[in-house]
Structure 1
Amino acid sequence: MIEIKQLVKRYKTKKHDVTAVDHVDLTIPSGTIFGVIGFSGAGKSTLVRLLNYLETPTSGDVIIDGDNMGQLSKTMLRRKRQDVSMVFQHFNLLWSRTVIENIMFPLEIAGMGKVQARHHARELVELVGLEGRGNAYPSELSGGQKQRVGIARALANEPSVLLCDEATSALDPQTTDEILDLLLEIKKKRNLTIVIITHEMQVIRRVCDEVAVMEDGKVIEQGKVTEVFENPQHAVTRRFVKDDLSDEIDESVDRYIHIAPDDYVVRLNFTGDNTTEPIVSYITRTLDIDINILEGSVKQTKSGELGYLVLHLTEVSESQFEEFKAGLSRQHVAVEVIRHG
């Protein structure tokens, strides 16, 4: 388990102090994939570097599996970092070393013999799907292959915690999916706790169990991924969710439909089995309401599907609309009013 208590990081400049991380409290359960998302400058990358004390906090505590990182001696901290490994955005490979030699590097630093280190590195090459590329140099690899080497190197000392700082942001969408699938596979095999720092909500949606949203150094929202997608509370979170679902309906609805006084434009949010239920048929047959489907989408998350429908309801009385909301609530479908005539 990772416990972050009132964590603060300030940088001093000539003109003023900058607070990059501002009194953050988080608990990350063991064996989960935890995402931290925010726009550039939100403090997320600083936060992840505080977890393994690559950056020293101004105040607050980081406790990993019972060890307070700030109370460890330099020797014990170096050993603890072997258990809290990191995957970087730009790979950070040694260009003069082969794939095998890059993976061997942290093992050599830890004092493992070269024969044993090479054998372990070959096993990791297979684990990350780079069979046949062990003797290649980084210049001969694609971006996705380089990141696979970075992941293998991070796993060399068999850590229990893997920190991923924007590990997919330099990759194309298909390669990003492949790396995320690899992380899911490794997590299952090794029961890792993985912390993913990203500005891409689709990364959070595809692999994370829980998410924290950061802005100006603070955590402004957190929770299970499905809950955050279903009901984002903060404007920043809503922006991320909207971008991932490609949902711009509330900004554009006035441009192409006319909303009469008794009309509603609503968004239905549903998850899991509800994504395959005949919701539209239920509305038209059971509730006798005329509808126009404006937009819809179904996305895959780690724990199942989630989706939305944007509907234009025409000539609906207030009592009909209340019945409409109550009926969908019984089917565990959330109703959000976007426009009302």
Structure 2
Amino acid sequence: MIELKNIVKRYESKSQTVTAVDDIDLNIDKGTIFGIIGFSGAGKSTLIRLFNYLETPTSGEVIIGGENIGQLSKRALRHKRQKVSMIFQHFNLLWSRTVLDNVLFPLEIAGVPKKEAKTKALELIERVGLKGREKAYPSELSGGQKQRVGIARALTNDPEVLLCDEATSALDPQTTDEILDLLLQLKKEQNLTIIIITHEMHVIRRICDEVAVMERGRIIEQAEITEFFENPKHSVSRRFVQEDLKPSAEYEDISELVEINASDKLVKLNFSGEATTQPIVSYITRTHHVAVNILEANIKHSKKGIIGFILLHLQNVSEHEFEQLTLELAEKKIEVEVISHG
């Protein structure tokens, strides 16, 4: 569906050359929600603007639906952009226009007859949950409502691809979830391919099928979402995952609150998917006769299942018993990380 081949974007001035995107190759299947994550300055926002040629690559090819975007005429490119729509971090609404007029704007540009355009705009406004707010101005809307207007506007030309540039970073957590749920529903109904640029792991975990990690203009890791959380390979990826699932306190602080005897262990069990439905604590106490103290747990939902960890104080467990327990838990796809021992 979407292919980037050797994409490079450089900005040149008299004093220096800055490479914002450095030789990126990507393949994104139709109907996929594909996340691109990275810290500030990684090149994410530049990359997403290359998908629809809001930025022109210095070199490389962007192919969408079999068409090489760089080879299109200006007229054909304008038409293609209608099928590769975009929503923005700061909404990009026309502040002098009402909700209805904002959604009508792309239809006016496309030359859609007024009656047909109004009918479609009203349907989209209702679809994104803003029925009754058609005459409101952006200044009268909450952040989430503004973004819903942006989504409705992006859908006016029946796009095949929806580009989201930090679309939830200006929103509170509850509103973020509402917008993500809306995107999931729209993707399901219209078989949209959605590309999301973000620095928020919650967004990646919540709705993405696949993720790519950017650093200094390059893709340093790409994986299906479950594999990414279970086995992040690059240090930057591990940092994102660890930050998302980290305990509420440092391990040293937790250790100081627990009296760990010579035969005790403080362990962290990392799990995902089916492993989260197993009665693990009960299994440990029942089969290995080990006293277990639960210190903390963090379980989060992703599009592909559940991920998380549980921090346990295992009391009076021999090395042999612990090795056997670790092997058994590994068979259940639960990773055991020793934090401290007596």
Q: TM-score range by the shorter chain?
A: over 0.9
The code of the aligned residue for 1:164 comes to C
After alignment, is 206-215 or 148-157 more displaced? Answer: 206-215
Q: Specify the alignment match of 1:305 in structure 2.
A: 306
User: Partner residue of 1:153?
Assistant: 153
With normalisation by structure 2, the TM-score equals 0.93
In the alignment, is residue 334 of structure 1 matched against residue 314 of structure 2? no
Using a 3 Å threshold, how does the CA distance of structure 1 residues 13 and 255 change in structure 2: closer, same or farther? farther
Report the alpha carbon displacement of residue 149 of structure 1 after superposing the two structures with TM: 0.5
Q: CA deviation at 1:284?
A: 1.9
**Superposed counterparts of 1:1-341, under 5 Å:** 1-247=1-247, 249-250=250-251, 252-257=253-258, 263-339=264-340
Q: What CA distance in whole angstroms lies between the structure 2 residues aligned with 1:85 and 1:325?
A: 49
Which amino acid in structure 1 is aligned with residue 67 of structure 2? D
Instruction: Give the CA deviation at 1:264.
Output: 3.8
Q: How many residues align?
A: 341
Q: Secondary structure at the match of 1:156?
A: coil
Residue 250 of structure 1: CA displacement? Answer: 4.2
CA distance in 2, matches of 1:234, 1:292: 33
- Classify 1:241/1:251 alpha carbon distance in 2 versus 1 (closer, same or farther; 3 Å): farther
What displacement does 1:315 show?
A: 4.6
- d(CA) in 2 for partners of 1:272, 1:39: 27
What is the CA distance between 1:266 and its match in structure 2?
Answer: 2.7
AA matched with 1:304:
G
Range that drifts further, 53-62 or 11-20:
11-20
The TM-score normalised by the length of structure 1 is: 0.94
* 214-223 or 257-266, larger mean C-alpha shift: 257-266
Using a 3 Å threshold, how does the CA distance of structure 1 residues 262 and 26 change in structure 2: closer, same or farther?
Answer: farther
Question: How much does 1:48 deviate?
Answer: 0.4
Equivalent residue letter for 2:93: L
Distance 2:217 2:112 in 1: 39
**Once structures 1 and 2 are overlaid, which stretch shifts more, 248-257 or 87-96?**
248-257
CA distance in 1, matches of 2:157, 2:60: 28
Alpha carbons 1:264, 1:316 under 8 Å: kept: yes
Distance in 1 (CA, whole Å) between partners of 2:4 and 2:240 is 24
Task: Measure, in 2, the Cα distance between the counterparts of 1:113 and 1:246.
Answer: 54
**TM-superposed deviation, 1:115:** 1.5
User: How far did residue 188 of structure 1 move?
Assistant: 1.0
Tell me if the contact between 1:249 and 1:295 (Cα under 8 Å) persists in the aligned partners: no
User: Partners of 1:209 and 1:191 in 2: how far apart?
Assistant: 14
Corresponding residue SS for 1:3:
strand
Gaps of 5+ in 2: none
- Deviation of residue 339 (structure 1)? 4.1
Measure, in 2, the Cα distance between the counterparts of 1:220 and 1:83: 29
Mean alpha-carbon deviation: is it higher for 49-58 or for 268-277?
Answer: 268-277
The superposition leaves residues 225-283 of structure 1 with CA deviations (integer Å, 9 ceiling, x where unpaired) of 22212222222222222232243544644544465665543321222332131101111
Tell me the CA shift for residue 334 of structure 1.
2.2
The verdict on how the C-alpha distance between 1:81 and 1:252 changes in structure 2, with shifts beyond 3 A counting, is farther
Q: Can you give the 5+ residue segments of structure 1 that lack an aligned partner in the other structure?
A: none
Q: Secondary structure at the match of 1:236?
A: helix
> How far apart are residue 300 of structure 1 and its match?
1.0
Structure 2: which amino acid aligns with 1:270?
A: F
For 1:94-140, what per-residue CA distance to the aligned partner results, in whole angstroms no more than 9, with x for missing partners?
A: 11111111111111111111121111101111111110111211111
Deviates more, 1:174-183 or 1:256-265: 256-265
Aligned-partner residue type, residue 295 of structure 1: E
Q: 1:281 to 1:146 in 2, by over 3 A?
A: same
